[in-house]
Amino acid sequence: MEGGARDSPTTFMTSYPESVHFLYSLGNEIRTVKLGLERIRDLLATLGNPQRSFRTVHIAGTNGKGSVAAMVASALRAAGHRTGLYTSPHLVEPTERIRVDGNRISEEHFARTFDAVHHAALRMQRLGDLEFHPTYFETVTAMGFHAFRELGVEIAVVETGLGGRLDATNVIEPELAIVTRIDYDHEAWLGNSIEAIAWEKGGILKSGTPAVFGPQRPEALGILRQRAAELGIHPVEAASWTIHDLELRPDGSRFVLRRNGEEIPIVCPLAGAHQIENALTAVTALKELGLRAEEIRRGIARTRWPGRLERVREEPEVILDGAHNPGAMRELAAHIRRFYGGRKVWLLYGSMRDKSLDEIAGILAPVADHIVLTQIDSDRALRPVVLKKLFDHGAVEMAEDIEDGLEIVLEAAPEDVVFVTGSLLLVGEVRKRLVG
């Protein structure tokens, strides 16, 4: 279903590489973020408010929001809905951010949608309705909504990019808001305390819109409950379920959820103990959306979410994990201790400079036998020589680029295990080389 009306009778011929090049020229989506909703609202109004053409579920949080979004969208598909999924960032190609029925939109459709949004923005600039072109994230958010309307999406699961209150996605009027676990990340924009971050993330809550809260730190939960009370919302908390018959494996988990006499068996194909919490949050949300237990069970079992404890090679075993903040790193370290304690662990690590690197290095160093620090292709990336000062470890070496770093870790013995982590950009580049 690739058709749909254009926003203008003019035909534009932007190619996919040209559209991606222009988006990247707008600057990194984190470094150039301009929090606020006026630009995106004006742009969407010019496009005919495509976000009002389908139902939405809105998800904010620090860790787990992408996994929860993928589970919710998968279950909605299992229930027979034509489903959109909007997430960020991408691993390899920007088309990954805009998915319909589990498939990313084609490069052709991406370019065509870029044309519609970009030229609408240019017209607004000429008329004086926009001071400058929308940011990378604002542009792609408008593209996602435009594509969902064109492709006849019934319900879209929309993940915030940064924060919540002033995030470009917060123009939607969802039928359900979900807040996953809140932790430290992007403190320069969201605040230096869990309470401040929770207040920003809780900004997706709206009067009259039901809400689901995933398991939270007490200080975060207190702020979320306060915001909900101010809006007259009675949120449902994922902790209302109890977990039984838990079986945790390196490649996923099995367990039974019980609440108020109802029982739902879950097979979660996403690895890591933290995914149990994410599945718990997704189940809670899906029940609020009216899905039956069998639809929920089937949908979660079919979930795919690349780059999160994803095994992509054997001998040596190579596992990719896009952990990039202290909370996610603690989950990764716990996974390594639980399942790989008897094997030699190699670590390929690279990071951006806007992270809590001292804390992250302290979490990772004890679980690795050999650490290779590499340079990510980004002007926000830290050089390996700088990273090395943070790792108190006896076996650390540096690689000047990802290719060299990957070559070093793949020299590991067949019985060893290699974890690639620190940045989704690093994970995406390695995945492109090993998976394609």
Among 337, 339, 329, smallest CA distance to 391 is for 329
Q: In what order do the strands lie in the sheet with 310-313?
A: 310-313, 317-320, 417-421, 345-349, 370-374, 396-399
Core vs surface per residue 18-31: b (16+ CB within 10 A) or e: ebbeebeebebbbe
Q: Per-residue pLDDT for 237 more than 50?
A: yes
Which of helix, strand or coil describes residue 393? Answer: coil
Is residue 266 very low, low, confident or very high in pLDDT (cuts 50, 70, 90)?
very high
pLDDT in tens, 171-201: 999 999 999 999 887 555 676 799 999 999 9
For residue 144, CA distances in Å to 87, 100, 219, 390 come to 9, 10, 34, 39
Which residues, listed in sequence order, are joined to residue 244 by a DSSP beta bridge?
Answer: 256
pLDDT in tens, 334-378: 999 999 999 999 999 999 876 678 899 999 999 999 999 999 888
pTM of the model: 0.92
Sign of CA dihedral 290, 293, 295, 297: positive
**How far apart, in whole angstroms, are the C-alpha atoms of residue 283 and residue 276?**
10
Q: Which residues are CB-neighbours of 230 under 8 A, at least 6 positions away?
A: none
Is residue 257 within 8 A of residue 283, CB to CB? The reply is yes
pLDDT (0 to 100) of residue 36: 78
Q: How far is CA 303 from the centre of its chain?
A: 14
Q: Per-residue pLDDT for 11 more than 70?
A: no
Q: Give the E-state strand segments of 96-154 in sequence order.
A: 98-100, 103-104
Which residues, listed in sequence order, are joined to residue 60 by a DSSP beta bridge?
Answer: 179
Q: Please, is 342 exposed, middle or buried when counting C-beta atoms within 10 Å of its C-beta (0-12, 13-18, 19+)?
A: exposed
Phi, psi angle pair for 374, to nearest 5°: -130, 165
Amino acid at 303: T
Instruction: Output the average pLDDT for the chain.
Output: 93
pLDDT (0 to 100) of residue 2: 38
Among 54, 233, 219, 209, smallest CA distance to 146 is for 54
Is residue 117 within 8 A of residue 43, CB to CB? The reply is yes
pLDDT in tens, 22-62: 999 998 655 555 667 999 999 999 999 999 999 999 999 99
- Which residue segments constitute the domains of the chain, with CATH numbers given? 16-301 (3.40.1190.10), 310-434 (3.90.190.20)
**How far apart, in whole angstroms, are the C-alpha atoms of residue 265 and residue 239?**
16
pLDDT (0 to 100) of residue 3: 36
Question: Tokens 């600039």 sit at which residue?
Answer: 125
Helix (H) or strand (E) holding 331: helix 326-340
**How far apart, in whole angstroms, are the C-alpha atoms of residue 435 and residue 320?**
11
Q: Which residues are CB-neighbours of 312 under 8 A, at least 6 positions away?
A: 318, 319, 320, 431, 434, 435
Amino acid at 365: A
**How far apart, in whole angstroms, are the C-alpha atoms of residue 295 and residue 75?**
6
